[in-house]
A and B are shown apart, each in its own frame.
Chain A
Amino acid sequence: MGHGHDHSHDEIGAGGDVPPALDLSIPDSELSPSDVSRRGFLRGAGLLGAGAAASVFAAPGVAQASGVAHTHGPAGGGTAKGGFQWLAGDHHIHTQYSSDAMYRVADQAKRGHAYGLDWLVITDHGSNAHAKIGVDKVNPDILKTRSEIPGLLTFQGLEWNIPAAEHATVFVHPGRNEVDVLKKFEQAYDGSQQPATNTDAQNEAQALAGIKFLGEQVRARKVEGALFFANHPARRGVDSPHEVRNWRDADPTVAVGMEGAPGHQAAGIKAPNGRGGARGYYDNNPSAASFAGYPLESYRTWGGFDWMTATVGGLWDSLLAEGKAWWITVNSDSHVVYLEGADHGPGSDFEVNGKYNDPVYTGNLNTGAGDFWPGYYGRTNVGASSFSYKAVMDGLRAGRVWVDHGRLIKALDARVRVAGDRRPAAGTPLGGVLSVKRGTSTELTLDIDLQDVPNWATFIPVLKRVDVIVGTVTGPVTDKDTFVAPNTKVVKSFEVSPGSKRVSVTYSLGRLDKPFYLRLRGTDGNRTQPGLMGAAVDPVGPKLDAIGDADPWGDLWFYTNPIWVLPR
């Protein structure tokens, strides 16, 4: 084999005992017409070659040139260049088909669209009632929404109880098999459907089987795409680092990321006007099911973000430093909305009907609710090549994603370029990999349109600072429970002048010596403290959110996904 280490090949693009359409060593000209068609479909779905998210070392020779161990898989992060249209969305929304929620699909979709979203995913909880009834019944509501709001891309998904772990968004491309695939998946792989006698190891294996099942449905052309995002990953300490790595490695065309910030961002608003709880409902403590290595800091939010993402040099960075494509998002997790006046419809029987009756207006504003409507506070902005379901899924899979809270900024275009190359169609966007000869000078070009219209709390947010975070890429870890990246830190901060309309900066990344990645973060600067890895790593990072006094509008951040620069 010549790689000098034991490993198993990915199922696609890896040669050997795979169907001809998947074996990239066979040229198109030698395939049967049906295999050519199949390969075209797979390539179009982002599941072959460039564009599919996996190890950034997948291109031949890249790992060797980078001096790190070879990992197989399709080229990670994509090799696309240039600009995209940015579509705002939310992949974590509940309706009356969840036992702890209540709104109609249309209630959520209309609000999301009105509040500026281009796409969203309906993700009711996996459960007995949902697996048997809800997953079917919600579909006509979604189809109706698609036809009534053509300017909104409404995906059907579900919130998977990952066996042995937290929840995850799972969703598929619309199509005639969307319900069938989701239903089969839920009935076989939801945590609620597993025998109580399962061991941890059995449940962890079942989670991986579920992710693989989704990838197989795509390759069997049942659906055009399927994606997985781990939700509120650090909330209860039960998503161990090795589980996160294993999900991703089970099928990197499906398991592509996690929530960088949880929903429920209104839950920390001060009582009596608000719930007075913990931002994101992050108020748990270690349990017997938790990963014992996680510190108490991981159970709380920092500037509204999950510890895995908020910690510079932490868990997310440890994956990026491995060269693992793994992306972050933000979402509403909307169940019951703050200062909203509805309640479950009377006479509901959720277990029998798989849903609550339509909500009714009560006249009582719910100050105890912790959620916002979709699009009201957080956005996941996806760089898409067109306005379509497929383009959104492709953009998510490629990691062309940046996220913000409270509309902190209006637009962002970050690219890494060979120094001096300012062609508009050039430059490697978020999620991408720039491969250049060692010694080549590269630079970051960053253009941010600052906010000039009020957000949904009626004020115009002011960006105070932008941080450039850089980490050396050191290749696969030997301990899959690693959650630190000691070579990652903030290397540059740009203060934004008051009254600016735009931030346009160029930051030299020097001559390429070692492979690295960079990611960006910005803030209104209202609440900061040195990062958990020390002031030398992150001098002005996000601050721990106080219990019962976390005004979400007074503490705004944006984060981008990474761009890698590798020697070729």
Chain B
Amino acid sequence: MTIYRSEAAGAFPTGETPAARPAAGVSLGHRELTEADHWILSLTPAPVLACTHLVREPFPHVAISLVGGPASLPATEEPLQAAADTAAAGGSGRAVLFPGVEKLVGTLTVAEVLASSAIDEITVLGAGAPDPGAFVETGDFVRPQFRAGKLILTTMPAAGDRLVPFESRNPTPCCATH
């Protein structure tokens, strides 16, 4: 149904055929990624693939696409339906849940991340491809993004010759008062 799900299918566990399963789009008007992540991670059963999508209309918020997960989902209110449809159509989603995400904890090599999860590629910001033996400190928080149908984890150089995911769990808030 969408490019990225069929592309990611190759990395899914044997027996899973997510490409054959339709994606659901949901928009609950979450303003922040953390709110959307929290909602996704509360779902039972957990979706096979869950992505966030940044949308501007009717106001800046985070829409969600899901493959698998609960049989019934909360209804999207009408003004947000277009955002939910955009999310369902895929595109540049940021993956919160994806096959193998539970294995991406602690410090792993680039090769291990690629072998144990649906992540297709790891890049280093401003530098290109890392050495397969380079260490990635996951911080137990990995949010790769679909780009041109591939699930890509962007990383950055960090202390101790390690790489860390570009997105961190607790980025600095802009300030306390607004």
Chain A positions within 8 Å of B, measured between CB atoms, are: 98-100, 125-130, 161, 166-167, 191-192, 199-200, 235-236, 270-271, 276-278, 281, 283-290, 292, 296-297, 299-300, 302, 529, 532, 543-544, 546-549
Q: List 23 A-B contacts (CB under 8 A).
A: A127-B177, A167-B175, A192-B178, A200-B56, A236-B174, A271-B159, A277-B172, A281-B172, A283-B172, A284-B171, A284-B172, A285-B166, A285-B167, A286-B54, A288-B31, A288-B32, A288-B61, A292-B56, A544-B125, A544-B157, A546-B157, A547-B158, A549-B159
Q: Which of B125, B158, B172 has the most CB of A within 10 A?
A: B172
Assuming the contacts A544-B126, A544-B156, asked whether A287 and B54 have C-beta atoms less than 8 A apart, the reply is yes
Which residue in A192, A236, A290, A296 is a CB contact (below 8 Å) of B166?
A296
User: Which residues from B are CB-within-8-Å of A300?
Assistant: 125, 156
A126 contacts B178, C-beta separation under 8 Å: yes
User: Do A99 and B159 touch across chains, with their CB atoms under 8 A apart?
Assistant: no
* Interface residue from B126, B160, B176 paired with A549 (Cβ < 8 Å): B160
Q: Residue among A278, A300, A532, A548 with the most chain B CB within 10 A?
A: A548
List of 4 A-B pairs having minimum Cβ-Cβ separation, nearest first: A548-B159, A288-B60, A549-B159, A127-B177
Q: A287-B32, A288-B31, A288-B62 are in contact. Are A546 and B156 (CB under 8 A)?
A: yes
- Using Cβ atoms and an 8 Å threshold, which residues of chain B touch A270? 159
Q: Which of B62, B156, B172, B178 is in CB contact (< 8 Å) with A127?
A: B178
Chain B residue numbers with a CB within 8 Å of A200 are 56, 59-60
Residues in B neighbouring A128, C-beta threshold 8 A: 177
A99, A128, A161, A547, most chain B CB atoms within 10 A: A547
Whole-angstrom CA separation of A191 from B158 in the bound complex: 35
Bound-complex Cα distance A308 to B56 (A): 23
- In the complex, A283 Cα to B167 Cα: how many Å? 8
Q: Does B55 contact A (CB under 8 A)?
A: yes
Task: Give chain B's interface secondary structure class.
Answer: loop
Interface residues on B, range: 20 to 34
Given contacts A283-B168, A549-B158, contact A99 B61 (CB under 8 A): no
Residues of B within 8 A of A99 (CB): 175-177
Which residues, 130 to 178 on B, are CB-close (under 8 Å) to A?
154, 156-160, 164, 166-168, 171-172, 174-178
Q: Which residues of A contact B171 (CB under 8 A)?
A: 283-285
Which residues of the partner chain B approach A284 to less than 8 Å between Cβ atoms? 171-172
- Is B111 close to A, CB under 8 A? no
Answer yes or no: B33 CB below 8 A from chain A CBs: yes
- B127: interface (CB < 8 Å): yes
- Do residues B178 and A191 form an inter-chain contact, with CB atoms below 8 A? yes
Report B-chain residues with C-beta under 8 Å of the C-beta of A290.
Answer: 54
Contacts of B156 in A (CB 8 A): 300, 544, 546-547
> Which residues on A sit within 8 Å (CB–CB) of B61?
288
Q: Are B177 and A547 in contact (CB under 8 A)?
A: no
Knowing A100-B175, A283-B172, A292-B56, the reply to whether A548 touches B158 (Cβ < 8 A) is: yes
Most buried by B among A167, A296, A302: A296
CB distance from B61 to the nearest CB of A (A): 5
Residue numbers in A under 8 Å from B168 (CB-CB): 283, 285, 547
Contact B157 A547 (CB under 8 A): yes
| Complex Cα spacing A296 to B147, Å | 13
A565 to B42, CA, bound (A): 61
Q: Which residues of A contact B166 (CB under 8 A)?
A: 285, 296, 299
Contacts of B176 in A (CB 8 A): 99-100
Chain B residues lying within 8 Å of A283, measured Cβ to Cβ, are: 168, 171-172
* Most chain A CB inside 10 Å of its own CB: which residue of B56, B125, B126, B174: B126
Residue numbers in B under 8 Å from A277 (CB-CB): 172
Q: Quick check: B60 and A100 within 8 Å, CB to CB? A: no
CB distance from B83 to the nearest CB of A (A): 10
Chain A residues with Cβ below 8 Å from B172 are: 277-278, 281, 283-284
Interface positions, chain B 34-73, Cβ under 8 Å from A, are 54-56, 59-62
B158 and A546 form a contact (CB under 8 A): yes
**Smallest distance from the beta carbon of A189 to chain B beta carbons, Å?**
13
Q: A285-B166, A287-B32 are in contact. Are A199 and B126 (CB under 8 A)?
A: no
**A296–B155 Cα gap in the complex (Å)?**
10
**In the assembled complex, how far is the CB of residue B167 from the closest CB belonging to chain A, in whole angstroms?**
4
CB–CB A199/B59 < 8 A: yes
Q: Report A49 CB to chain B, min CB distance, Å.
A: 38
| Chain A positions within 8 Å of B126 at CB level | 297, 302, 529, 532, 543-544
Inter-chain CA distance A147–B159, complex, in Å, is 46
